[in-house]
Amino acid sequence: MRNTSLLPKRALTGLAVAAMAMAGAAAPAAGAAGTPGAACNGYVGLTFDDGPSNNTPALLSALQQNGLRATMFNQGQYAASYPQHVRAQVSAGMWVANHSYTHPHLTQQSPAQIESEITRTQQAIANAGGGTPRLFRPPYGETNSTVQSIAARHGLTQIIWDVDSQDWNNASVDAIVAANARLTNGQVILMHEWPANTRAAIPRIAQVLASRNLCAGMISPQTGRAVAPS
C-alpha cells in the first residue's frame, strides 16, 4: 500500500520475490547483520512493499550502511516509471519481487485481470533490469486459490508475512524496531518503502538482529522462508 488511508494488510500464507544478487552488488558493512560469513544463528526476511519510488535511494543507503539486505516487493507501474531505482535495488544486493501492477484487491478481480497484474509486473521488472521475479506478494495480503494458481503458473511463490510492522499505520520508530525484535529464524516481516519512521528504524533493526545473531537473508522460492543468501 502506498498511503495510510488504504485498508490494513492481512497475513495469510505464501509469497513471491526475485532472488538475484548481481556480481557487482555493493558489499554490506563488515560485521553487520546479514554480512556473509557473520556468525548467524538464523535468518530473517526483511521485506519492503510498494517501491520503487523517490524514497528508494534513501532506503537503499540506510540498508547498505547497516549491512542489511532485503526483498523489495515492487509494483509494476512504479518499476516502469522508475527503472533506475530497480537497477539500484539490484546493484545494492537486494532481491526484487512482484507486488502486482496497480495494487488492486486481487480477490475481487477476474482471472484475466489477475493474469494481467502479474504478467505486466514480471515484464516491467525485467525491462527495468530487475531480472525475472520468483516471489509474489498479493496486495493487502489478500489471496485465494485463483490468485495462487495463476501466480504458480508463472513460477512465482506467494509470500505473505509472519510479523506486520504496522509502519503503514503510522507505527513509531520504537514500534517498528520492536516488531523486528519479534522475528525468529525463517520468519518474514512486512515493511514499506515510504514511511520515514521505517527508514529511521533501520540502524536499530540492524543492532537488534545482531544482538540475537540473526542475519538478514533471502526468501527461498522453495520454502517461502528466510534462508542464507546463495
On the CB side of 54, CA atoms within 13 Å amount to: 0
Q: Which three cell numbers stand for residue 196?
A: 520515514
- Domain edges within the chain: 42-227
Instruction: Single out the residue of 87, 99, 84, 85 nearest to residue 25, CA to CA.
Output: 87
Which numeric CATH code is attached to 42-227? 3.20.20.370
Which residue is catalytic, options 49, 50, 164, 167?
49
pLDDT tens digits for range 12-51: 333 333 333 332 233 333 334 544 445 899 999 999 999 9
Is 77's pLDDT higher than 50?
A: yes
pTM for the structure as a whole? 0.85
Whole-number Å distance between alpha carbons of 15 and 150: 13
65 exposure class (CB count in 10 Å sphere: 0-12, 13-18, 19+): middle
Which residue is catalytic, options 85, 99, 103, 192?
192
Residue with the larger pLDDT of the pair 87 and 11: 87
pLDDT tens digits for range 79-111: 999 999 999 999 999 999 999 999 999 999 999
Instruction: Single out the residue of 127, 118, 97 nearest to residue 218, CA to CA.
Output: 97
pLDDT tens digits for range 175-187: 999 999 999 999 9
Query: Is residue 50 annotated as a catalytic residue, yes or no?
Result: no
- Computed over every residue of the chain, the mean pLDDT equals 88
Query: Is residue 105 annotated as a catalytic residue, yes or no?
Result: no
pLDDT at residue 230, rounded to an integer: 86
